[in-house]
Amino acid sequence: MNLNEVEILYTKEQIAARVAELARQISEDYAGGDLLVLGILKGAFIFMADLVREIEGVNLQLDFMSVSSYGTSSESSGEVRILKDLDSSVEGKHVLVVEDIIDTGLTLRYIRDLLLKRGALSVKLCCFLDKPSRRKNSITPDYTGYTIPDHFVVGYGLDYAERYRDYSAVCILQPWVYEK
């Protein structure tokens, strides 16, 4: 980890404790039932891997989707392009969408509406990080790891130009890195 470029916001230990709490809550809410956990690639892959291994007493099916939003990298337009669709059908299933971070909310609103249109019985959202100050709609995650101020964060699956995903802490990227 290059500590000139990043500042630690949540340590590996803090993250593990919070993920375990989220998993406990999800295990209670879906106890004994079936649940399709849908990870949004690439950012959610580490969070999802940790989360599903802590969920107990729920019959899980796992799938992934990869999406990209049209628009510039810093300003999403709300239109979402599906780069990789799920392999399974969501019809008649309870779905939990797992995402790394919710910012404007445009991506998750698109995905939620799409899954409901395809016949999902229920769609809940689990985001590790939430930046509510930037929201452009009324989407609120059902499960949130941490609510954070408007910083650009990396690590724990989150990237800047495909770097830093492997950092085990959630870090604030120093602005000089992306302003240079």
Q: Which residues bind ligand 5GP (CB under 6 A)?
A: 43, 69, 76, 99-108, 152-154, 158-160
CB of 40 to ligand 5GP, least distance (A): 6
CA distance 43 to 75: 17
C-beta of 118 vs 163, nearer to ligand 5GP: 163
CB of 57 to ligand 5GP, least distance (A): 29
Q: Which residue has the tokens 């392999």?
A: 87
Q: Which amino acid is at 138?
A: S
C-beta of 37 vs 58, nearer to ligand 5GP: 37
- Choose the catalytic residue: 29, 50, 100, 103: 103
CA distance 22 to 142: 10
103 is a catalytic site residue = yes
CB of 90 to ligand 5GP, least distance (A): 20
CA distance 131 to 106: 13
CA distance 102 to 51: 17
C-beta of 52 vs 157, nearer to ligand 5GP: 157
Contact 89, 109 (CB under 8 A): no
Q: Which residue has the tokens 């989707």?
A: 65
Active site (catalytic) residues: 103
